[in-house]
Structure 1
Amino acid sequence: MTAPDPIGTHHLDARILDQLRLDGRIGRNELSARLGVSRPTVSKRLDALLESGHTRVVGIVHPATVGLEALAHVSVSVEQPVRQVAARVAALPEVPYVSLISGRYPLIAEIRCGDAAELAAALDRIRSIDGVRDTNTLYYSDLMIDAGQPQKVAEAALDALDRRLLAQLQEDGRASYAILAAAAGTTPGTARMRVMRLIDEGIVRIGALSTPGHGDTEVAVGFGVRASGRVSGLSPLIAELPGVRFLAATIGRFDLLGTIFAPRLDEVVSALDRLRALRRVLEVDNWVHLDLMKEHYGAPMR
């Protein structure tokens, strides 16, 4: 029998993740002070989380900030083993997100492109993949809450150095200023000043992304909503539900698309009950994310 953990390791990991989602570059001393836990203990658990492969701290830029205006969610039915097909879909550069899910469609993917023509071409590439039988597409008319919750900055003034720094932060949001400077071809002082400006202006949000369903991490449940009337008044109410960390208005079989994260499925059930109880919600469909195959929101930084 395994002895109980006297310091509540899993609870501490969850608290560390909460802080990393708020500020992915938080220092170990400040993290220790916020949690009221010794620095060695916090460092040990932080290193374990980051080395597990299921938690990453990255910089995320809202797609509209860097000119990615055509976004879509694609549900895929397959006629070959789903992992094989998912790997082929995940290899496409326009696809930042691929997940295996429960339900009629065993695989979903997200496409992010510059315009409608690029999006149509990416959809054709997915439909042409060996093992893809059928696809069903939802076009995003508005991305209200993106993964990592970056802001939409309509007129971001980015020069070549900014873009090089953003490219590095998208790979490792906790990289030291010395590492960022070396990769971007500048000094640590300049790298620090530029990164702080990018964060302060909301151009990049640095936070933790964790893989649902591994160990004691969260579960993730996607949902699609059909609504009556205008969805503009409904979406803020859905955004306030506990655990909603992704929300988009869509054109297709759903009017709104989102994801709920929670430590336990019973908390997801409660959130979905509250969602169904909202006025103008006609129907709610949902699916469980079983295995995340790809999540990499590295927008092109030309």
Structure 2
Amino acid sequence: MAEYTLDDLDRAIIGELEQDGRRAFREIARTVDTSEATVRQRVKRLQEHGILRILAFADPQQHRGSQLCLTLIKVEPKHYDAAVEILTAMDEVTYLSTVMGRADLCIEVLCRDNTELWNFLRQKVESIPGVSGTESMTVLKVHKLRYGAPVR
């Protein structure tokens, strides 16, 4: 698929959807000064190119009996791609990114409880070939949760 370059209208539409992913295209069109058909077509194109996904996000702290954890992972360079692939396939991993600093990867993990979290980290993550170390931080309280670009 050809690379897609965002323009100002795409950014404006994305900004509106970041505020409310269920917002009607008609309302977005009025706000960004274009037609509803244009908004619909742009959203479809952004989704097809993997730039935009509209989904619901439930706060893990509101789910009784769930444990959220951030884990930094150090990976030997020759095993990096395989480790990313393995972690991506794990249901417990809700977020995965490459980072710079004392670790190579950062994952967000959601488990039912501390026992499940412990088993996941020790049995699954640390057994991935090339993983040379982990550092985990249990999330006690989320003070701000927002995905997307800063509001302008």
Q: Check the 8 A contact 1:68/1:112 in 2, yes or no.
A: no
- 1:1-302 maps to which residues of 2 (within 5 A)? 10-79=7-76, 80-124=78-122, 125-148=124-147, 243=150
> How far apart in 1 are the matches of 2:93 and 2:107?
7
- Report if aligned partners of 2:60, 2:67 keep a CA contact under 8 Å in 1: no
Question: Structure 1 runs of 4+ off > 4 angstroms?
Answer: none
Q: Kindly state the Cα deviation for residue 105 of structure 1 after the two structures are TM-superposed.
A: 1.2
Q: Is the 8 A contact 2:70 2:138 kept in 1?
A: yes
CA distance in 2, matches of 1:119, 1:16: 38
The equivalent of 1:266 in structure 2 is none
- Percent of paired sites with the same residue: 27
Match of 2:3 in 1: none
Residues of 2 paired with 1:46 and 1:14: CA distance?
A: 11
The count of residues paired between Structure 1 and Structure 2 equals 145
In structure 1, runs of 5+ residues without a counterpart are: 1-8, 149-208, 210-217, 219-242, 244-261, 264-302
TM-score (norm 1): 0.45
Distance (whole Å) between structure 1 residues aligned to residue 34 and residue 66 of structure 2: 43
The TM-score normalised by the length of structure 2 is: 0.84
Q: Is the 8 A contact 2:70 2:139 kept in 1?
A: yes
The Cα shift of 1:145 comes to 2.1
Q: If each structure's strand is expressed as a fraction of its own residues, which one has the higher value?
A: 1
1:115 counterpart letter in structure 2: D
* Contiguous gaps of at least 5 residues in structure 2: 1-5
Separation in structure 1 between the aligned mates of residue 103 and residue 134 of structure 2, nearest angstrom = 9
For residues 48-103 of structure 1, the C-alpha deviation after alignment (integer angstroms, 9 at most, x for no partner) is 11111121000111112222532111111112332211111122211111111222
Pair member with larger Rg:
1
